[in-house]
Amino acid sequence: MTALRRSVAIVVIATVGIGLFLLAGVSAASASTIGAADVQPQAEEEFGQCFPGEGYSITIGSEGPQIDSIVHFSLLTNLGAPGSMGIEMAGTTGDEYIILLRAGVLFEGVGEPTAFLADPMAQFSVAFEFDFSLPMFAGMTGGDFSYSDDGAPIDAPIGDAVC
């Protein structure tokens, strides 16, 4: 029984520790939270446009390099209607995006009840996009130091969304 108590104690301590860590991270990030319209770097019109709704914007860093992110939960808060659950993150040097990641699930809404009941997965689609670029090297060599992928890294019985 002592091993069971020890295991339970470890799980409780780990859960409390992770909760405090996340709470501290959210508090620190909340101090620098911005709106999607405040994102300044080059891909401004592309960042924050994949998922429906506004989402919750969090920025890590305030000058120079930073990570802009938008977390979307409208799939859980707007039941039955079109929504999404996912994240959009962009790492920037301050002037240009270096890395951009969009990943999540889009829901088109229930629509016609009989069609939804016949094939509920038809209303869902996977959104995925990954862009990586090193523009600081392109000027030195004249080459394009970038990588882009928009194919979802999972096989699912649902379609792919176009962002």
Whether the CB-CB separation of 150 and 163 falls below 8 Å is answered with yes
Q: Residue 149's domain spans which residues?
A: 33-160
CA atoms within 13 A on the CB side of 29: 18
Query: Do 25 and 98 sit in the same domain of this protein?
Result: no
Query: Do 17 and 64 sit in the same domain of this protein?
Result: no
Query: Do 15 and 89 sit in the same domain of this protein?
Result: no
Query: Do 51 and 127 sit in the same domain of this protein?
Result: yes
Query: Do 55 and 92 sit in the same domain of this protein?
Result: yes
Query: Do 87 and 140 sit in the same domain of this protein?
Result: yes
Query: Do 24 and 82 sit in the same domain of this protein?
Result: no
Query: Do 121 and 131 sit in the same domain of this protein?
Result: yes
- Predicted pLDDT at 163: 65
Q: Report the number of distinct structural domains present in the chain.
A: 2
Q: Each residue of 16-36: pLDDT tens digit?
A: 333 333 333 433 343 333 333
Q: Which residues touch 10 (CB under 8 Å, ≥6 apart)?
A: none
Query: Do 71 and 22 sit in the same domain of this protein?
Result: no
Q: Each residue of 87-133: pLDDT tens digit?
A: 999 998 877 888 898 888 888 888 888 888 888 888 888 888 888 88
pTM (predicted TM-score): 0.60
Query: Do 27 and 37 sit in the same domain of this protein?
Result: no
